[in-house]
Amino acid sequence: MRFSYSTITSIVATLVTSSLLASTADAAVPTYKPYDGKVSEDAFFEQFDLGWKSRWIPSAAMKDDQLSYVGEWAVEESVVLNGVKNDKGLVVKTEAALHAISAKLPHVFDNTNNTLVLQYEVKFQKGLNCGGAYIKLLSEKGLQYDSENSLEFSDKTPYVIMFGPDKCGADNKVHFIIKTLNPKTNEYEEHHVKAPPMARMVQTTSLYTLIVKPNQDFEIRINGVIARSGSLLNPDDFNLVPAKEIIDENDVKPDNWVEEEFIVDPNDTKPEDWDENAPYLIPDPAATKPDDWDEDEPEEISDPNDVKPEGWDDEEDGFWEPALIDNPECENHGCGKWIRPKIKNPEYKGKWSPRKIANPEYKGEWTPRKIPNPDYYEISSPSDLEPIGGLGFEIWTMDDHILFDNIYLGHQISEAEEIGNATFIPKLNSENELVILSDPNVEKTSSPDDPYLQSAIVSDMYEYALDNIGKFLGDLKYYLADVVEKPVETLGQRPGEAFFFSAVIVGTIGTVVGFWTLIINLSLSMINSYFEDDKTAYVGPSSSAKKDTAKSNPKLEIIEEKKGTKDSKANETTAKKR
């Protein structure tokens, strides 16, 4: 029987879920109580209590006479690590399917000269292999309800902001997309935040918060901690504002434009005493042959102990010769023909080439001129979003049982924080206790108020590292672009960045080279050790220690240990290629 990947994943998830459910039964979990704190009249807050069906409408969008979004929705309790009894949320029920559901706001949400705060909980009860869990704030213009209160909500529905986690394979990010109308083209454009943070891939509940302030600053918080911040007007964070000037694509380099900064000096000539044929090394004229050097004695001799193998056939195997060994007579002095050692030739100058001088015709590196951008428009306050009439989830996912809860849209940061403290923190603490009960090997963190598990901490560290690497590469990319465009100005005004990036790159390369050098040296050392051990296996009589060991184990071969460098050198039998 063959199982598909999704089938195997479902089986594993079911087993894990069963284990966690058993742990839940053994733990005392708190009972759900609706949030009774104050919520502003112009804010929207959803806990999926009674009456949720009148607010949340599944999409009825059609494509080719068929329902586009076949994924089912339900409002139910968590089935994995249920930290609060009777607490229900909106749950994705169909794997490998498109899902869409939305709610119309009781009143239009206007963020003109105001702060936008969007916050909601996400729980990946079976993990997230590939899919989205983001929410869309829908433009008032895009909401189209029919007489039966059915919404044609789809990927074509205009939205103002898209925010939340999205993961498929190694691609893991928290989306923050703003959609604005280009007054020049009269078309809507998507603007993605640069270097988005990574989403938390844990089975406990996570809290995602987006804050957009009227001064154009923004924050992305995960579990109350700022994971990304910046400004809507900063080109390092967003490309909301088009460039004032663009390169003139019709501009061409003049034929007489000279980019060569240096040229060969036409007046330079080779000196008469310059010898291009002089060798780099010459015999040392000051060297003398040692008095005890014996030129009549060969450096190597045939091994007298090497005998021709019994099965050797000169006709088939070739003429047999004994192996060569170092001449024992030359152990304390040199033998063979004496040759002077070589030294660097003081007269060596190498191949002559004329010197280079500054090119009097040099004009610098040519760059095309810039012209005013015909598509440029000013936008001083992108936080003044188009009116928002609803919100919804329009996602595709391979995984089911994604749970959403405690959705807040308002203008008050403190209000969202109070909701998170009252709903999310107790829930996460309870879920953490259930994780510890389900796995006795998991230890509590040192702080009883810390809502993070050890596994989540490791995940955070990994995500934090990748997030910062992404930010570094993004900063490096834009800095290099500035250097290419305006090298003198950029290096002159921002030398600190040049030093920082250079130091990091050189340090990283040095670390990588050093690591692989260590690996190669260790490998070569192991190989040399192996062959050295192999050579000693053919040395004369054994030592007493080896004999005793061999007697106790008749399968062991008696091998003599090296007595010293002289004995080893004298008895080595290595084949010499002739």
The answer on 420 and 503 residing in a single domain is: no
pLDDT at 536 over 90: no
Q: Does any domain span residue 569?
A: no
Q: How would residue 429 be classed by pLDDT, with cut points 50, 70 and 90? A: very high
Number of domains in the chain: 2
Most confident of 59-63, 380-384, 566-570: 380-384
pLDDT in tens, 147-205: 454 567 899 999 999 999 999 999 999 999 999 998 888 889 999 999 999 999 999 99
- Residues spanned by the domain of 507: 494-535
pLDDT in tens, 109-159: 999 999 999 999 999 999 999 999 999 999 998 676 554 545 678 999 999
Long-range contacts of 21-29 (CB under 8 A, 24+ apart): 21/79, 21/80, 22/438, 23/434, 23/437, 23/438, 24/81, 24/82, 24/434, 26/437, 27/433, 27/434, 27/437, 29/82, 29/83, 29/84, 29/85, 29/430, 29/434
Q: According to the model, what pLDDT value does residue 241 have?
A: 85
Does 456 map to a domain? Answer: no
Compute the half-sphere exposure of residue 310: CA atoms within 13 Å on the CB side of its CA: 0
Residue 420 counted as domain residue? yes
Residues 426 and 511 in one domain: no
Q: How far apart are CA 483 and CA 474, in angstroms?
A: 14
**What is the distance between the alpha carbons of residues 389 and 161, in angstroms, rounded to a whole number?**
12
CA angle, residues 325, 326, 327, in degrees to nearest 5: 110
Cα–Cα distance, 150 to 233 (Å, whole number)? 38
Residue 313 pLDDT greater than 60, yes or no: yes
85 with 226, same domain: the answer is yes
- Please tell me whether residues 14 and 84 are part of one structural domain: yes
Round to whole Å and give the CA distance between 479 and 306: 70
Task: Return the top range by mean pLDDT from 273-277, 347-351, 418-422.
Answer: 418-422
Q: Which two tokens stand for residue 399?
A: 């995984």
For residue 78, pLDDT over 80 is answered with yes
Shared domain check, 516 and 390: no
- Total residue length of the chain: 578
- Residue 254 in any domain: the answer is no
The CA dihedral of 398, 401, 406, 408, to the nearest 10 degrees, is 10
pLDDT value, residue 510: 84
Residue 567 scores a pLDDT above 50? no
pLDDT higher than threshold 70 for residue 424: yes
Range with the poorest average pLDDT among 64-68, 96-100, 351-355, 380-384 = 64-68
Least confident segment among 78-92, 176-190, 441-455: 441-455
Judge whether 467 lies within some domain.
Answer: no
139: enclosing H helix or E strand = strand 135-139
* C-alpha span between 538 and 303 (Å, rounded): 14
Q: Is residue 90 over pLDDT 60?
A: yes
What is the C-alpha separation between 420 and 414, in angstroms, rounded?
10
Q: Could you tell me which residues come within 8 angstroms of residue 376 by beta carbon, excluding any fewer than 6 positions away?
A: 184, 242, 243, 244
Distance of alpha carbon 227 from alpha carbon 237, whole angstroms: 13
Residue at a domain's end among 413, 436, 459: 436
Q: Are residues 56 and 195 in the same domain?
A: yes
Count of alpha carbons within 13 angstroms of residue 356, beta-carbon side: 6
Beta bridge partners of 404: 90, 122
Domain match, 139 and 24 both: yes
| 148, 449 contact by CB (below 8 A) | no
Domain identity same for 413 and 519 = no
Query: How far apart are alpha carbons 173 and 153 in whole angstroms?
Result: 24
Ordered DSSP codes for 74-132: EEEE-SSS--SBT-EEEEE--SSEEEEEEEEEEEEE--TTS-EEEEEEEEETT--SEEE
Q: At what angle do helices 495-535 and 454-485 cross, to 10 degrees?
A: 120
Asked if the structure places residue 46 within a domain, the reply is yes
Going 189 to 193 to 194 to 200, the CA torsion angle's sign is negative
Q: What predicted TM-score, i.e. pTM, was given to this entire model?
A: 0.60
**Best CA proximity match to 59, nearest among 152, 187, 181:** 152
Q: Is 44 in the same domain as 188?
A: yes
Could you tell me if 22 and 124 lie in one domain? yes
DSSP state of 261: S
Q: Is the distance from CB of 185 to CB of 90 less than 8 angstroms?
A: no
Residues 6+ apart with CB under 8 A from 89: 48, 75, 76, 77, 78, 121, 123, 403, 404, 405, 406
| Interval 379-401 mean pLDDT | 95
For the chain, state the CA radius of gyration.
39
Q: Are residues 432 and 498 in the same domain?
A: no
Which of these, 84, 74, 90, lies nearest to 405 by C-alpha position?
90
Asked whether residue 140 falls in the same domain as residue 20, the answer is yes
Where residue 182 sits, what CATH number does that domain have?
2.60.120.200
Model pLDDT, residue 541: 39
Question: What is the Cα–Cα distance from 73 to 6, expressed in whole angstroms?
Answer: 20
Cα(92)–Cα(395) distance, integer angstroms: 10
Residue 420, pLDDT > 70, answer yes
Residue 339 · residue 289 · CB < 8 Å = no
Structural domain ending residue among the three candidates 412, 436, 460: 436
Structure confidence at residue 465 as a pLDDT band (50, 70, 90): low
Burial of 39 (0-12, 13-18, 19+ CB in 10 A): middle
**Could you tell me the two tokens for 60?**
């009825």
How far apart CA 226 and CA 219 sit, in angstroms, is 7
Q: Is 7 exposed, middle or buried (0-12, 13-18, 19+ CB in 10 A)?
A: exposed
564, part of any domain: no
Q: Which residue has the higher pLDDT, 140 or 570?
A: 140
72, 91, 288, 396 from 7: Cα distances, Å:
19, 20, 83, 18
pLDDT over 90 percentage in the chain? 57
Yes or no: say if 29 and 92 are a contact pair by the CB < 8 Å rule. no
Residue 445 lies in a domain: no
